[in-house]
Chains A and B, each alone.
Chain A
Amino acid sequence: MNAPNASGWRPALGEAGEAGAATASGDRGLHFEEPLIFELAEPGARMGVDLDAPSGDVMPSLARFRRQAIPALPGLTEPETVRHYTRLSRQNYAIDLGPFPLGSCTMKHNPRLNEKMARLPGFADIHPLQPQGTVQGALDAINQLATWLITLTGMHGVAMTPKAGAHGELCGLLCIKAAIAARGESRDVILVPESAHGTNPATAAFAGFRVESIPATADGRVDLGALRARLGPNVAGVMITNPNTCGLFERDMKAISDAVHAAGGYVYCDGANFNAVVGKVRPGDLGVDAMHINLHKTFSTPHGGGGPGSGPVVLSEALSPFGPLPFTVRTADGTIRLIEEEDAAGEHPQGFGRMAAFHGQMGMYTRALTYILSHGADGLRQVAEDAVLNANYVLRSLDDVLHAPFGAAGPCMHEALFSDDDLPDGMTTLDIAKGLIDEGFHPMTVYFPLVVHGAMLIEPTETESKAGLDRLICSLRSLAGRARAGDATLKSAPHFAPRRRLDETLAARKPRLTWQGEALPPQPPSLSEIGGS
């Protein structure tokens, strides 16, 4: 065990030297200074789970996969291990503790009804390899969700299997690639506007396309003229985030789609921000050919470390034949079938392949379907309205103290964008973000989108109450006031967090991503010492 407080934790509840400020443990009350798990372990100790020695000689069948040395894992008992991770979790910030205003992330409340439904044994305790006849209820839930997604987006089909937004982007681009190959063409360029999500160019490159950037106009939208000028026989498609990362609706979307289609390309829409328009706008009406929907954003399934993502991709009639296997269909007798490779030749001959081993994230499907059914069509429309209302409330409550680059252009969509342009020299977006930690909030998204200098992107979501938003606004107004007054203490914020301002530059330049101490146990015994031949 290391000396107490070896890592230099600064007590949050009093200054060093203050009466009662020092403790032998290094902890302060219930504020824990938690060592690394390697520091907790007794050197050389091996604990955990006792396994019986295998019966018979298993060594021949292990062959070269037999471990040559004991792995250098820390030896802790089960309660020690549980306490370690529970203590760490208490230092974390979560949507269940307070607002999480990360722009572009849609950190909304995860309704407990979703959790109750996801835990029903018929959804939670089944296995992907069970005969389809024994999991009809689960397949029906997938099929119902698929139908909702197709209906809400006005599209022709949906690929349910992608496991997250970027995985969905890849799925959409692979559909586009397959469609172009089926036409006997070789288009290799994907156009990505500056206002698109950062994952878009990475996805296009990963799918084997060349990426070309399209500039944004002064009011934060795609430059239609520049896009038109760039279209041609080598352009496979365009990836547009709508609403975009400036929190603005791409009002030229239909004109963009028409131009891209006329040039023989396809339109991929990044639907990460669909929560701003669900029930209001059908992307199919805007000429979109493929769009992923982040179930973990628009439809309230947990994310940000709280659970796996899920990114179904809705597809136009032109792209649906190329979607991945497997997918559900309702047969004439009312049962649901999962179309797999053995059926593909007859029923889905042009599909590009698979995105996942099985049918996708069942737990996320159940939660998303619960959210949809508990809101209903009118409730989903109100989700979009309230998300936009909340964002505009934040925008207009702060635009007199923080510069809002597109504030004069009218209302925003689901997120409010500010910059540090108006702050005095030396005061930056980072200082406001760190100050927000002292105020007891998770910071907003900073320095993104890149098209705005010192961007601060705030997405309140529809699940924050007015009173909750007022508390966040009050803190942000106070921080903006301190920055404008040149308050030097803001430069050293956070003051009340377990760690003061970290050296992010050093962490990025010289990252130490693994345990740097001695391997534990110090001298691993050979396997023969602990049994086994």
Chain B
Amino acid sequence: MSRYFTKDHEWIDVSGETGTVGITDYAQSQLGDITFVELPESGASFGAGDTASVVDSVKAASDIYMPVGGTVTAINEALADAPELVNAAAEGDGWLFKVTLADAAELAALMDETAYKAYVAEL
């Protein structure tokens, strides 16, 4: 399994054709306490960069963009009652949704962990 990052602070864990998407720990720390997560419908298809989800925090409502194109296969149901999971474990139990990748080649446009850390350090 490999993890990729976007400049908009999403991460995607890829295993074969399947990806798990969430927001990074840096993103949750900047957003503050998350109050609501609006997740996509299972079966919905998005292109890379499309808005697939919205995360509300005490400071702002933020669009979550698809790291790569794909079709949603599962959403993290636990977030409906416990959006704070995103604060507690943004890069673990606070994942948002799972997708089937449309084109694994799109992953090449994303950053690996080292590159993302360097990117965040400059913000």
> Which A residues form the contact surface with B (CB < 8 A)?
447, 450, 453, 504-505, 508-509
Q: Which residues of B lie under 8 Å from residue A447 when comparing CB positions?
A: 59-60
Q: How many angstroms between the C-alpha atoms of A453 and B33 in the bound complex?
A: 15
Output the least CB separation between B45 and chain A (Å): 16
Partner of B35, one of A450, A453, A505: A505
9 A-B pairs whose Cβ atoms sit less than 8 Å apart in the complex: A450-B60, A453-B30, A504-B33, A504-B58, A508-B33, A508-B58, A509-B33, A509-B36, A509-B83
Interface size class of B (residues with CB under 8 A): 10 to 19
Output the least CB separation between A350 and chain B (Å): 34
Q: Which residues of B lie under 8 Å from residue A453 when comparing CB positions?
A: 30
Q: Which residues of A lie under 8 Å from residue B25 when comparing CB positions?
A: none
Q: How many angstroms between the C-alpha atoms of A505 and B59 in the bound complex?
A: 10
Q: Does B10 contact A (CB under 8 A)?
A: no
A447, A504, A509: most-surrounded residue (chain B CB, <10 A) = A509
Q: Does B84 contact A (CB under 8 A)?
A: yes
Considering the complex of A and B, which 7 residue pairs feature the smallest CB-CB distances, nearest first? Answer: A508-B35, A505-B33, A447-B59, A509-B35, A504-B58, A450-B60, A505-B58
Q: Which residues of B lie under 8 Å from residue A450 when comparing CB positions?
A: 60
Q: Which residues of A lie under 8 Å from residue B33 when comparing CB positions?
A: 504-505, 508-509
Q: Does B38 contact A (CB under 8 A)?
A: no
Output the least CB separation between A19 and chain B (Å): 40
Output the least CB separation between A315 and chain B (Å): 31
Q: Which residues of A lie under 8 Å from residue B59 when comparing CB positions?
A: 447
Q: Which residues of B lie under 8 Å from residue A504 when comparing CB positions?
A: 33, 58
Q: Does B56 contact A (CB under 8 A)?
A: yes
> Which B residues form the contact surface with A (CB < 8 A)?
30, 33, 35-36, 56, 58-60, 83-84
Q: How many angstroms between the C-alpha atoms of A450 and B83 in the bound complex?
A: 21
Q: How many angstroms between the C-alpha atoms of A509 and B30 in the bound complex?
A: 18
Q: How many angstroms between the C-alpha atoms of A450 and B30 in the bound complex?
A: 11
- Chain B minimum-CB-distance residue to A198: B61
Output the least CB separation between A223 and chain B (Å): 16
- Chain B minimum-CB-distance residue to A213: B63
Q: Which residues of A lie under 8 Å from residue B56 when comparing CB positions?
A: 508
- Chain A minimum-CB-distance residue to B63: A213
Output the least CB separation between B74 and chain A (Å): 23
Q: How many angstroms between the C-alpha atoms of A508 and B58 in the bound complex?
A: 7
Q: How many angstroms between the C-alpha atoms of A16 and B30 in the bound complex?
A: 38
Q: Which residues of A lie under 8 Å from residue B83 when comparing CB positions?
A: 509
Q: How many angstroms between the C-alpha atoms of A508 and B35 in the bound complex?
A: 6
Q: Which residues of A lie under 8 Å from residue B84 when comparing CB positions?
A: 509
- Chain A minimum-CB-distance residue to B83: A509
Q: How many angstroms between the C-alpha atoms of A450 and B32 in the bound complex?
A: 13
Q: Which residues of B lie under 8 Å from residue A509 when comparing CB positions?
A: 33, 35-36, 83-84
Output the least CB separation between A142 and chain B (Å): 38
Query: Can you add 17 more A-B contacts, CB < 8 Å, to A508-B56, A509-B84?
Result: A447-B59, A447-B60, A450-B60, A453-B30, A504-B33, A504-B58, A505-B33, A505-B35, A505-B58, A508-B33, A508-B35, A508-B36, A508-B58, A509-B33, A509-B35, A509-B36, A509-B83
Q: Which residues of B lie under 8 Å from residue A505 when comparing CB positions?
A: 33, 35, 58
Output the least CB separation between A369 and chain B (Å): 38
Q: How many angstroms between the C-alpha atoms of A450 and B62 in the bound complex?
A: 10
- Chain B minimum-CB-distance residue to A510: B35
Output the least CB separation between B119 and chain A (Å): 16
Output the least CB separation between B47 and chain A (Å): 13
Output the least CB separation between B107 and chain A (Å): 24
Output the least CB separation between A444 and chain B (Å): 15
Q: How many angstroms between the C-alpha atoms of A205 and B59 in the bound complex?
A: 22
- Chain A minimum-CB-distance residue to B35: A508
Output the least CB separation between B20 and chain A (Å): 24
Output the least CB separation between B85 and chain A (Å): 12
Q: How many angstroms between the C-alpha atoms of A482 and B56 in the bound complex?
A: 30
Q: How many angstroms between the C-alpha atoms of A201 and B83 in the bound complex?
A: 25
Output the least CB separation between B123 and chain A (Å): 9
Output the least CB separation between B29 and chain A (Å): 12
Q: Which residues of B lie under 8 Å from residue A508 when comparing CB positions?
A: 33, 35-36, 56, 58
Q: Which residues of A lie under 8 Å from residue B36 when comparing CB positions?
A: 508-509
Output the least CB separation between A421 and chain B (Å): 11
Q: How many angstroms between the C-alpha atoms of A297 and B60 in the bound complex?
A: 24
Q: How many angstroms between the C-alpha atoms of A508 and B36 in the bound complex?
A: 8
Output the least CB separation between A12 and chain B (Å): 25
Q: How many angstroms between the C-alpha atoms of A509 and B60 in the bound complex?
A: 14
Q: How many angstroms between the C-alpha atoms of A509 and B35 in the bound complex?
A: 5
Q: How many angstroms between the C-alpha atoms of A391 and B60 in the bound complex?
A: 25
Output the least CB separation between A277 and chain B (Å): 28
- Chain B minimum-CB-distance residue to A455: B59
- Chain A minimum-CB-distance residue to B123: A453
Q: Which residues of A lie under 8 Å from residue B30 when comparing CB positions?
A: 453
- Chain A minimum-CB-distance residue to B62: A450
Q: Which residues of A lie under 8 Å from residue B35 when comparing CB positions?
A: 505, 508-509
Q: How many angstroms between the C-alpha atoms of A505 and B36 in the bound complex?
A: 10
Output the least CB separation between B26 and chain A (Å): 12
Q: How many angstroms between the C-alpha atoms of A447 and B62 in the bound complex?
A: 13
Output the least CB separation between B7 and chain A (Å): 12
Q: How many angstroms between the C-alpha atoms of A509 and B84 in the bound complex?
A: 9
Q: How many angstroms between the C-alpha atoms of A508 and B55 in the bound complex?
A: 13
Q: Which residues of A lie under 8 Å from residue B58 when comparing CB positions?
A: 504-505, 508
A450, A453, A504, A508: most-surrounded residue (chain B CB, <10 A) = A508
- Chain B minimum-CB-distance residue to A429: B59
